[in-house]
Amino acid sequence: MAKNVKNRKLTIFISTLYCSLFFSSSLFAFQKGSTEDFLGHEVGITYHTAEQAVSSKEYLPVYPEEGTPEFEADKIAYLHGYNLKGTERWQQAIQDADLHIANVAKIFSQSLGITISPETTPTLYKMFGDLLVDSADNATKTAKEFYMRKRPFVYFGNHSCQPIEEEDRLRQNGSFPSGHTAYGWTLALVLAQIAPSHAETIIKRGYEFGQSRVICGAHWQTDVNAGRIVGAVEYSKLQTIAKFQEDLRKASEEINQQYSLLK
C-alpha cells in the first residue's frame, strides 16, 4: 500500500512538472508581440506591432471607383500586364510573387552585388523577415481591412501569375494597398541607405518588384502606387526605432565586409 501511494505521488509530481514546462514554453513561443509573416511562419517580435504602425487608412487617398477615368487606367494597366503572359517579364513577376525570405534575398543580392544569406549577412537576413511583417502586413493592415478592394484577377475572372492555392488566399485579402509593394519599397530604401554606391540598381529593382504585382494581376496600379507610399512611410517610421538603428549598423558592417572580400 505504502509503495502504491509513493508511486501515485511520483506520477502526480511528474505530471505537474510536465504541464508546467509545457505552458511556460508555450507562453515563451507566443509571447506578447510575437507574430507571423505572410507565409504563416512564427518570426518573434519585430520592430513594431500593427497598433504601433502609422495607420495607412488615415493617410492614403481612396482608390478609384468603377466608372472613373482613374479606374479605366487601372484596367488598361492590368490588360497590359496580362498580355505579357509567357514573356521574360512575366517570369520575373512570378519570381517576385514568392515572399520566402531566401527568394527575396536572392533578388536583392543581384542588385547589391553580394550574397545576402544567414551565413554571410545574418543580421540583414533576419531584417528581411522582420520587415516583411512590419511593412507588408502591419503597415498596410488598417487600409486593407477597411477597404477590402477586389483584386484585378478576380474582377476579370482570370488567373494571376501565382498558384491556384495562393489565389484562394488572395481572394480573402484586400487589394489596396499592395503589401508586396510596400515590402519591396521599404527594402529598397533600407538597402540603398546601407549601400549608397548601388542605390540606382537597388531602387530600380524595388520599383520593378512592385510593378510585378500589376503584371501578375494580383494588384491594380493604384494599389501599387499606394504600396510605395506605405513603404516610404514605414521607412520613415523605422528611423525612429532604436532596435532598427542598431540592426542597420550591424547590417552595414556585414555588407561592407562582403564588399571588402570582393576586393
User: So which residues are the catalytic ones?
Assistant: 180, 213, 219, 223
User: Cell 474582377 maps to which residue?
Assistant: 155
Q: Are 57 and 142 in contact (CB under 8 A)?
A: yes
Sign of CA dihedral 120, 124, 126, 131: negative
The whole-angstrom separation of Cα 164 and Cα 169 is 9
C-beta separation of 47 from 130 below 8 A: yes
Q: Is 259 exposed, middle or buried (0-12, 13-18, 19+ CB in 10 A)?
A: middle
Q: If you write DSSP's letter for every residue of 168-227 in order, what string do you get?
A: HHHHTS--SS-HHHHHHHHHHHHHHHH-GGGHHHHHHHHHHHHHHHHHHTSS-HHHHHHH
Q: Which of 93, 75, 117 is nearest to 223 (CA)?
A: 75
Cell matching residue 152: 484585378
Fill in the DSSP letter of residue 156: H
Q: Whose CA is closest to 131, among 206, 204, 57?
A: 206
